[in-house]
């Protein structure tokens, strides 16, 4: 019985190997690498060596965030969605293995003008409790603060800054679904804070069967400037219930990312 089953298994493998996938052989491979920089240098964690645009000295403990819906824009302006519709990738400065991924289905050969992605998770995909395994599950956003379309933080950037009292204070620069409150501090609605990122200088040519590496850099200092000089002394360390703070982050976020094609 054991050998019969083994024979069937081998037979299936042989049959499978007879099929070729011309489309995939033709396609190229696009690999992504994520880096986190301050002033052009890789971040140095747990060291109070940075100063933001508002003048707050700060240190970074860790950065954890989601990227989703990666797509390419070709020379004709056509958008090619690269990831599956449920594809959401978690990135963690403490987990180097999360800094890389490869587009599994390959990329059609051709000229591409731009890489685009969603910072965070679109509301319709951001279902509460959809992640049950860590580390993604640890990004949970409280249900009453995000509703049915706000299940998870888009980003947790944790660290410390020297506050106006000259004390080393923790900050949880967390962004996710914001809330609107009435005069009695009751939540009356939600605000989606995810946004689309278009990476300039990310044009490339994918040869047939070729390999391209796209290095995406999060330039951390840009979270704190342009158009808003984000001031920790104004917003304090905890901002999940502060849509004004998250609104500033969202506005600043559009030029946080850059790309280098290898």
Partner 1 sequence: MKHIRFYFLIVIIVAGTYLGYLLFIADTDAPDLTRYPVRQLKFFPKKVNMPEFNPLTKEGVLLGRHLFYDGRLSGSEDLDSLKSCATCHIQSKGFGSDIKVLAGKGYPCGFTKNGEGIFGKNLHVTLPLINLLYNSNGYFRNGFIREQNLYETDDLEIGFKYLESIVWISIVSEQVIDSNVKQMLEIIGSDQVYKSLFISAYGNEKITLKRIVLAISQFIRTITASDFKFYHFMEGSVVLSDSEQRGYELFYSERTGCFHCHAGSMTMTTNQYYNNGGDGELQGNCDRAAVTLNPGERGAYRAPSLINCALNAPYMHDGRYSTLEEVIDFYSENIYNSKLADPLLKGLNDGGIHLNKAEKKDLLDFLHTLTDYTMLSDLSYACPEALGRFGIRAR
Identify which of 180, 200, 193 has the alpha carbon closest to the alpha carbon of residue 252: 193
Q: In terms of CB distance, is 33 or 233 closer to partner 1?
A: 233
Burial class from Cβ neighbours inside 10 Å (0-12, 13-18, 19+) for residue 241 reads middle
Q: In terms of CB distance, is 21 or 188 closer to partner 1?
A: 21
**How far apart, in whole angstroms, are the C-alpha atoms of residue 103 and residue 240?**
32
Give the shortest CB-146-to-partner 1 separation in angstroms. Answer: 10
Q: In terms of CB distance, is 5 or 184 closer to partner 1?
A: 5
Give the shortest CB-108-to-partner 1 separation in angstroms. Answer: 14
Give the shortest CB-245-to-partner 1 separation in angstroms. Answer: 11
Q: In terms of CB distance, is 170 or 200 closer to partner 1?
A: 170
| Structure letter (DSSP) for residue 222 | G
The residues pairing with 118 across neighbouring beta strands, listed in sequence order, are 68, 196
Give the shortest CB-230-to-partner 1 separation in angstroms. Answer: 17
2 three-state secondary structure: helix
Bin 258: left if φ > 0, else alpha if -120 < ψ < 50, else beta: beta
Torsion sign over Cα 206, 209, 210, 216 = positive
By CB under 8 A, name the binding residues for partner 1.
Answer: 1-2, 5-6, 8-9, 12-13, 15-16, 19, 21-23, 46, 61, 105, 129, 131-134, 137-138, 140, 142-145, 158-160, 163, 165, 167-172, 237-241
**How far apart, in whole angstroms, are the C-alpha atoms of residue 5 and residue 1?**
6
If you search the block for the tokens 């056509």, which residue do you land on? 78
Give the shortest CB-220-to-partner 1 separation in angstroms. Answer: 15
Give the shortest CB-225-to-partner 1 separation in angstroms. Answer: 21
If you search the block for the tokens 């506050």, which residue do you land on? 163
| Structure letter (DSSP) for residue 26 | H
Q: In terms of CB distance, is 169 or 258 closer to partner 1?
A: 169
Show Cβ contacts of residue 194 under 8 Å, excluding neighbours closer than 6 positions.
Answer: 118, 119, 120, 121, 122, 123, 126, 154
Q: In terms of CB distance, is 51 or 61 closer to partner 1?
A: 61
The residues pairing with 188 across neighbouring beta strands, listed in sequence order, are none
Q: In terms of CB distance, is 21 or 85 closer to partner 1?
A: 21
Give the shortest CB-46-to-partner 1 separation in angstroms. Answer: 5
């Amino acid at each position: 019985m054991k050998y019969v089953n083994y024979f069937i298994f081998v037979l299936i493998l042989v049959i499978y190997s007879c099929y070729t996938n011309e489309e995939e052989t033709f396609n190229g491979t696009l690999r992504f690498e994520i880096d986190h920089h301050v002033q052009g240098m890789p971040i140095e964690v747990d060291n109070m060596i940075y100063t933001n645009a508002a003048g707050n000295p700060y240190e970074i403990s860790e950065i954890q965030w989601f990227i989703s819906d990666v797509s390419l824009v070709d020379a004709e302006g056509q958008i090619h969605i690269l990831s599956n519709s449920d594809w959401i990738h978690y990135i963690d400065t403490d987990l180097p293995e999360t800094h890389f991924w490869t587009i599994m289905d390959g990329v059609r050969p051709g000229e591409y003008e731009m890489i685009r992605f969603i910072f965070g998770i679109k509301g319709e995909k951001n279902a509460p409790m959809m992640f049950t395994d860590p580390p993604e599950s640890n990004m949970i956003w409280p249900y009453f603060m995000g509703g049915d379309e706000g299940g998870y933080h888009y980003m947790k950037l944790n660290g410390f800054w020297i506050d106006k009292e000259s004390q080393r204070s923790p900050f949880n620069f967390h962004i996710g679904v914001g809330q609107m409150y009435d005069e009695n501090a009751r939540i009356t609605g939600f605000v989606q804070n995810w946004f689309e990122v278009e990476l300039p200088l990310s044009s490339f040519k994918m040869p047939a069967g070729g390999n391209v590496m796209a290095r995406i850099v999060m330039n951390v200092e840009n979270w704190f400037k342009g158009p808003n000089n984000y001031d920790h002394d104004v917003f304090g360390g905890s901002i999940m219930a502060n849509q004004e703070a998250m609104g500033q982050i969202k506005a600043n976020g559009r030029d946080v990312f850059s790309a280098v094609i290898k």
